[in-house]
Every structure is written in structure tokens, then in C-alpha cells.
Amino acid sequence: MTSTKTTVLKNFGILTIIGLFSLFGSFLLLPTTTNADTPTLVSVSIGITNSICIGQQAHLSWSSVGATTTSIDQGIGAVSPSGDRYVSPTVTTTYTITGTNSSGGYGTASATVYVTGSCSTPTPTPTPTPTPTPVPVAVSISANPFSLCVGQSAHLSWTTNNATQVFINQLGAVNLSGSQLVSPSQTTTYTITATNSSGGSAVASTTIFTTGYGYCFTPTPTPTPTPNVTNLTITKDVINLSSGNSFVSNSVNAQPGDSVEFVIQIGNSGNTIANNVRLSDFLPYQLSYISGSTTIDGSFASDGITAGGFYLNSLFNGQTKIIKFRASARDASVFNVGNTQLINTARVTADNTGSVDDTAFVNVSKGEVLGLTTLQIQKTGRNVTKGDLAEKTSINATPNDTIEFLIRVKNLSSVTAYNVIVTDTLPTGMTYINNTTSLNNIITSNGVTGSGLNIGTLSMNQEAMIRFYASVNPGTTATLINVSQARADNYSQIVSNPVVITLGVVLGALSVKTGASSTLYISLLAGLFSTLGFYWYKIRIV
């Protein structure tokens, strides 16, 4: 509430009229004025909060114009011409301001604040905390077996979902999921209770029944009879007799007219006899069978292996037989210039099992000049890490093993081969070991696994041998196949037989001997004694 009031004081004047009457009968009026100070106008105003409660404060403010002294009653007293302050009256109160100045100016104004009594602020109603919805819990429990004799055990298993605590009445607190062997002495029910922090819970139970007391005998199960199985195996390799090499492999290089010998090993890895075993071989037309060359375990046998096959009688479980025969490559007229791969397949079968095949390869090279033969290249290897002593065309290895490769290049022609270059591109999964390449057992520069190694000139029937080492890379799991190539200025490129490196252990890997084989001699002697014994037996019967 604000009030303003202005007061103006009255002006007083004294007029004195002095009349002087002249002698001539007239008079002169002379005005005389007495001047007092005119009071300066005073204006004041005051305002205050209209209404408060007991204990609250009201805002009191005032201003004045023309006043030199101002005061407010209600115990406040003299104040500045303008200002404000807070007051806390306990009853309705009127505040009056008075302003004056030295000229006698005067002004007054009043403002009233109404006190309505004690005010109380209501306590707000608290917002209720929402009750969380319990997360559902799932639980299951089972026993295997659910029936047993006293002294035996059962496998108790349980699983839960959305649980944080799990309790089984017979076991106490357990993991959220798990299993345990129990041996109840009487029929027992296992109850599982699962709960979580949101209030979810679930209960399940299973019962194990005891069927008697004392020791229970478990009957011995009737063994499952092992079925009789006949499992024939066959491995076929070849050697070039005309080249002067003494080792066999799955693939050889040859010239038209060369003689080769095929070596077939058959076996029975089953648990019963293979009845009426039959062996046949299918020569390609570019190869001619050499009559009278077939042997079985070192003993000569009748011809017929390439003309429908022949019987080998029965083959006992664990028994093996080695069959050899020879063939010759036909003359150059049946071959194209370059390299021709001949595929020769042998097949063995029996009355009580299916047939199995294996294949050997003869790569026949024909020179570009009439009467000119080409180079010959053979490749073998050894697993040095495994301690292999024999050269092989099939090697077992594991990652980080070191493999020694041997490459033999021979000139079978009467024409000298110039600038013979041998290359060997390692398969992915192998790394060349630096500075391990040798030519005819003399260390030479690297390059065989790169752009190639120039071994110089090869005269008629001259042979060169390259040797180098490579390692199987860590993490390699795939089978690795490695071949070599040879070429010369006046000869076309030829490709060697492959060397197969199998990661892991493979039974039946072929060992290739570079000299006489004691195993072969033993087989020949055994065959000779068997033949003599059978001949002596027949004479006695006759």
C-alpha cells in the first residue's frame, strides 16, 4: 500500500498604505511590502506488502522529494530520504512517513500491512515408490536313474533361468545350474527353490525311489558281437627300369620304348577272410604288357593280370601280397610331341566285399626333333625332423617339421642339354630354408624355389642331383603337393612326379628305398621257401 501527500504553506503579505495628503487636497498612495521566505514543496510516499502471516516479513519501501529530514513511526525513526527494509509485525500495522525541510515544507504518507494470523505450509503428500514387477524364474530338476538300490548313486541335475539364489532342501545352497551324485538310503524327494532380487521365485522337485536294502548286483551286459568285416586295401606304384633308378613312386617319367615295372600291394585289414580275391589291371594302349613278367610275393605267376585278371585265392585278415609285372612304352609314333600322362589302374575285389582301386602314372616325353629324347626328372623327399632315412613320394609331417627335397635330372639323349634350369615352386604352407640348396652335394646359391637354378650342361646319360630343405609353416593343416620342373635351351619343360605331404599320421605311407631293400629280400626268401615246401608236399602225396 502506497500513500503520497503534498502540503503548501500560506503566503503572508503586509500592505502598508501611507497616505500623504498634500496641501493641495490630493493624496499619494505608497505601497510597502514585507517579504518572508517561500516554503519549498515536500512530497513523500511509502509502500508495504499488503498482507503477511505471523512470522513472515513485509517489504517496506519509501521515497521523498524536497525533504531534508524523513522519519517513520512504529519504532523505526529517522531514515534516508529514500530506501527500503523488511519488517515483521505480529498484528496489522500502519507505517507513517513524515518529511520536512528547513524552509518549513512538510509532507506525510501512510501504508498498512495486514497480518492474517499464523500460516502453516501443508506437508506435501510423498509420491509412492512403485513396486517392481518380479522377474519370472524358471527351474527344473531331474535324477538319473530315478530308482536304485541302497548303496548305489544317482545323478541329480538342475537348471535355472533368471535366478540369483538356488537352494535344494537336501543339499543346501547350490550353483544356479549344476549336477551332483547322491546316494539316498531311502526314497527321497529333492526340492529346489530358486529366487531373484526382484521377488521372483520358482520351485520344482524330483523323487529318487530306493527299491531295497543291501548290496545290489548289476547284471553283466551281454556283449555286442563284433561283425565280421572284410576290408581290402590296395597300393600301386611304378619304377622306370630303363632310367637306372632303383626307387618306386606313384609317378615316373619315361621315354618311348622305356620299360617300367608296376608294384601292387594288396591286403586285408578286416577281421575275417576275404574269399576268392581277384586282381585285374587296366593298361592304357600306349603301354604293352611284357609276357612272363608277373610275380606274386616273388614267385612267377601266369599272365593274365592285364587280360581280365586272375584269382589270388583267399586272403586272411592281416595278410598282404605283393604283385609285380612289367610293361613297355610303345614307340614314339603313338605319342604326341611333349609330355603324355598314362594312367594305369589296378582293382582288387572278393566275394564278400566290394572292390577297391589305386592308380599309378607314367609320364612319357617325346622330343621335338626326330629321334631326340628329352630330359628326365624324378623327385623324392624325407622328413628330417621325424628321422626318415628312406626317400619317399608320400610323407607324413606336422607343422614346423623340416623336409628335405631331392631332385634328380638326367639326360637320356645323345644330344647335350644346354643351360638346364630346375625350378621348384613350394606350395602355400611351406617356407624355403635359406642357404640349404646344394648341387651334386656342393652348396650353391639359392634360386631353385624362385626364378630357377641353372645347373649348367648335361651330357648324354649325365645326371645332376639338387637337394634343398623347407619347413612346414605353423598352423598348416591342408595336404601339401610339391612338384619340380626342368628345361633347357634345346629341350622342352618337363614336370616331375609329385611329392605329397600329409599333415598328421597316415598309415601305409610309401617308403622309397634308393638301394636294395631287406624287406624285399625277406619277401623273396619267404616266397621261395613256401614254393619249395608246397612242391615237396605234392611229391609226397603223389
Consecutive sets of 10 residues in the chain, 542 residues long: mean pLDDT of each?
48 32 39 58 89 89 91 91 91 93 90 83 77 88 88 90 91 92 90 91 91 62 81 94 81 91 94 93 93 93 89 91 94 86 94 93 74 76 92 92 95 90 94 95 91 93 95 93 91 89 59 40 48 48 44
Contact call for residues 362 and 252 (beta carbons, < 8 A):
yes
The topology under which CATH files domain 138-210 is Immunoglobulin-like (2.60.40)
Query: Which H or E run contains 532?
Result: helix 518-541
What would the grid cell of residue 260 be?
A: 617300367
- pLDDT value at position 14? 29
* The dihedral formed by the CA atoms of 410, 412, 416 and 420, expressed in degrees to the nearest 10: -30
**What stretch(es) of the chain map to CATH 2.60.40.2470?**
138-210
The topology under which CATH files domain 1-19+27-119 is Immunoglobulin-like (2.60.40)
Which positions ≥6 away from 518 have C-beta within 8 Å?
none
Contact call for residues 502 and 386 (beta carbons, < 8 A):
no
| CATH number assigned to the domain with residue range 375-503, chosen from the 4 options 3.90.380.10, 2.60.40.740, 1.10.10.10, 2.60.40.10 | 2.60.40.740
Rg (CA), the chain: 62
3-state class percentages of the chain: helix first, strand second, coil last, to nearest 5: 5, 50, 45
Which residues on neighbouring strands pair with residue 458, listed in sequence order? 417
Question: From CA 485, how far away is CA 392, in angstroms rounded?
Answer: 18
φ, ψ of residue 303 to 5 degrees: the values are: -70, 165
Extract long-range pairs of 291-296: CB within 8 Å, 24+ residues apart: 293/261, 293/324, 293/325, 293/326, 293/327, 294/323, 294/324, 294/325, 295/323, 295/324, 295/325, 296/321, 296/322, 296/323, 296/527
What would the grid cell of residue 22 be?
A: 498634500
**499 alpha-carbon distance from chain centroid:** 32
pLDDT in tens, 465-497: 999 999 999 999 989 999 999 999 888 889 988
Which residues on neighbouring strands pair with residue 279, listed in sequence order? 310, 348
Domain 232-366, CATH homologous superfamily name and number:
ntegrin, alpha v. Chain A, domain 4 (2.60.40.1530)
Which residues on neighbouring strands pair with residue 27, listed in sequence order? 21
- pLDDT value at position 416? 92
- pLDDT value at position 444? 93
- pLDDT value at position 440? 95
pLDDT in tens, 282-295: 999 999 999 999 99
**What stretch(es) of the chain map to CATH 2.60.40.740?**
375-503
Residue 535 DSSP SS3 = helix
Contact call for residues 509 and 395 (beta carbons, < 8 A):
yes
